[in-house]
Amino acid sequence: MNFSIKKICCIGAGYVGGPTMTMMASKCPNLIFNVVDINEERIKLWNHKDLSKLPIFEPGLRELITKTRGKNLFFSTNIKKAISTADIVFISVNTPTKIRGLGAGKSSDLKWVEASAREVARYSEGHTIVVEKSTLPVRTAEVIQNILYSAETNSKKEDISFSVLSNPEFLAEGTAIKDLETPDRVLIGGENEMAMLALSEIYEVWVPKDKILFTNIWSSELAKLTSNAFLAQRISSINSISAICEVTGADVREVSRAIGRDSRIGSKFLDSGPGFGGSCFKKDILNLVYLAEYFGLNEVANFWEGVVNINNWHQRRITEVVIKKLYGTISEKKIVVLGFAFKANTNDTRESAAIKICKDLINEGANLVINDPKVSAEQIENDLQIEENSSGKMKGEASIKNKTGQWSFSRDLNIFNDAHAVLVLTEWEEYKHIKWDLAVKEMVKPCWVFDARSIVDIEMVKKAGIKLWRLGDGSEEEKMTNF
């Protein structure tokens, strides 16, 4: 059967569904894209006239929205209508780690995927190509197929039928538009060749054919998890080396540069930082761990779990360095935290290293002033579960049990007065241009800059007389010890 594609529905208007459909709509003006979500507030923001109110921040997204929204791209909560008129339905809903029940802490919670599949089963008409866009455990397509094929046999609508494909998304936040415009590859897994070709034809409008890979559906699902596991593994590897650098006098940036020149290793993804964050790395590795354990492959499970364990240890290590350098106590000391997003150019804080590090610092009694150019104070309060300016009071708690530190938020950078230290956690461009010669005048002496992203102007910091600690910089450590 040849498929004629005119209308596309995407269930889930999040960090993936929103930008992906916007890119497709901009490239394929002859197709109609309906992006639907159960979250009314999110849809309102996608439809907001003021583009600074879009629910996610991605460089280049506003321009594409201006080009497409209201023309061939529509955001709504009318799920029934969008599904019933669609030739292709992308499922792009959240798949977080399960927090309770069987597989809690490791396996993915497929509640939202199952609900989406049931909606497709209920509302679709004619033949529908159903595409897994969410990252899913291997063999999830089977769950979706079971729900849909059962609808094929039980539905009163005689002509409904489905083809299920896997088409995982590889975009990274902050570079989503660039990644979607020129992807390294597009992966399409499935059994129905005509359905795979129909999906491929959409991508072929702007992606060279040799970048579109066809696999079986299980390889496609596993390739997505493996890709994230390999990327996260590189970060844990280089972060573990940063700790060795600090005690041996080596510099992790020099080590990265040296190993990155080996074309078999490659130079990307070798920046040591405060530990990987983001909604997916940890979740997808834990998914792999769960899969391996399920099949009795315990050594495989332990290997991958080690990547997450190193990440947790590394984040705690940064807090400990700060405490140690500030003479073993940070109680009532003001520390400026630069950056709360899990990486630059996004407002996303999911699994950000800043969450754990800030909680630990507050617990140790520090008074934090947190700056981030895109994250809101409300989001930080939600993540820390500690009210702003509340001496460590947990959200909803009536009285302060133990005196701990507190935090407040500032959107501007006039925040260095009386600070004992500045801790850089996100690599925002503006932090590269801070005038340390002016900042130092307001800080408590001796004062510190702890740079966990290797972005501050080293010469200016040193010239200003500020003590500098850079992640993985053993050469600095050596000089200080000798001194």
Quote the least distance from Cβ 333 to ligand NAD, whole Å: 35
Name which of 78 and 417 has its Cβ closer to ligand NAD: 78
Least distance between ligand NAD and beta carbon 324 (Å):
35
Give the footprint of ligand NAD on this chain (CB under 6 A). Answer: 11-17, 36-39, 42, 79, 92-95, 112, 115-116, 134-135, 169, 171, 173, 279-280
Burial class (CB within 10 angstroms; exposed 0-12, middle 13-18, buried 19+) of 296: exposed
Nearest distance, CB of residue 453 and ligand UGA, angstroms: 8
180 vs 168: CA distance, rounded Å: 12
User: Which option in ligand NAD, ligand UGA, none does residue 273 bind, with CB closer than 5 to 8 A by kind?
Assistant: ligand UGA
Alpha carbon separation from 353 to 273, 341, 428, 482 (Å, rounded): 9, 9, 15, 32
390: three-class secondary structure by DSSP: coil
Residue showing tokens 């050596």: 478
Closest to ligand UGA by CB, 173 vs 360, is 173
Complex with ligand NAD: residue 56 or 245, whichever CB lies closer: 56
Interatomic CA distance for residues 399 and 180, integer angstroms: 49
Query: Does 199 engage in binding with ligand UGA (CB under 6 A)?
Result: no
Interacting partner of 107 out of ligand NAD, ligand UGA, none (Cβ under 5 to 8 A depending on kind): none
Binding segment (CB under 6 A) for ligand UGA, from list 117-125, 163-171, 394-402, 430-438? 163-171
Catalytic machinery residues: 169, 224, 280
In whole angstroms, the minimum distance from the beta carbon of 238 to ligand UGA comes to 7
Say which residues have a Cβ less than 8 Å from residue 398's Cβ, sequence separation at least 6. none
For ligand UGA, which is the closer residue by CB, 172 or 458? Answer: 172
The secondary structure of 94-146 as a DSSP string is --PBP-SSTTTTTSB--HHHHHHHHHHHHH--SEEEEEE-S---TTHHHHHHH
> Is 143 a binder of ligand UGA (CB under 6 A)?
no
Q: Using the rule CB under 6 A, which residue among 93, 148, 171, 338 binds ligand UGA?
A: 171
Q: Is 278 in the site for ligand UGA (CB under 6 A)?
A: yes
19 is a site residue for ligand UGA (CB under 6 A): no
Question: Is 343 among the residues that bind ligand UGA (CB under 6 A)?
Answer: yes
Q: Does 137 bind ligand UGA (CB under 6 A)?
A: no
- Which of ligand UGA, ligand NAD, none is residue 116 near (CB under 5 to 8 Å by kind)? ligand NAD
Q: Using the rule CB under 6 A, is 339 a contact of ligand UGA?
A: no
Residue 313 touches ligand UGA, criterion: CB under 6 A: no
Cα–Cα–Cα angle for 306, 350, 314, rounded to 5 degrees: 35
| Listed residue (151, 190, 157, 134) closest to 3, CA to CA | 190
Q: Do 128 and 160 touch, CB atoms closer than 8 A? A: yes
Nearest-approach distance from CB 116 to ligand NAD, in angstroms: 5
Residue of the chain from 135, 145, 220, 347 that contacts ligand UGA (CB under 6 A): 135
Q: Where are the beta strands (DSSP E) in 18-70?
A: 32-36
Using the contact rule CB under 6 A, the part of the chain among 77-85, 168-176, 366-374, 463-471 near ligand UGA is 168-176
Q: Residue from 37, 58, 132, 173 that binds ligand UGA (CB under 6 A)? A: 173
Closest to ligand UGA by CB, 109 or 173: 173
- Least CB distance to ligand UGA at residue 122 (A): 29
- Apex CA 103: angle with CA 101 and CA 106, to 5°? 125
Burial of 326 (0-12, 13-18, 19+ CB in 10 A): buried
Nearer to ligand UGA, 119 or 351 (CB): 351
Minimal CB distance to ligand NAD: which residue?
14
Please check whether residue 152 is in contact with residue 186, taking contact to mean a CB–CB distance below 8 angstroms. no
Cβ-based nearer residue to ligand UGA, 69 or 133: 133
Task: Judge contact between 108 and 78, C-beta under 8 A.
Answer: no
Helices (H), 249-333: 252-260, 281-294, 298-325
| SS3 at position 255 | helix
* Residue type for position 290: Y
Q: Which is nearer to ligand UGA, 95 or 128 (CB)?
A: 95
Report the C-alpha gap between 256 and 120 in whole angstroms.
47
Shortest Cβ distance from residue 422 to ligand UGA (Å)? 19
Q: Which spans of this chain sit near ligand UGA (rule: CB under 6 A)?
A: 135, 169-173, 228, 231, 235, 269-271, 273, 276-281, 342-343
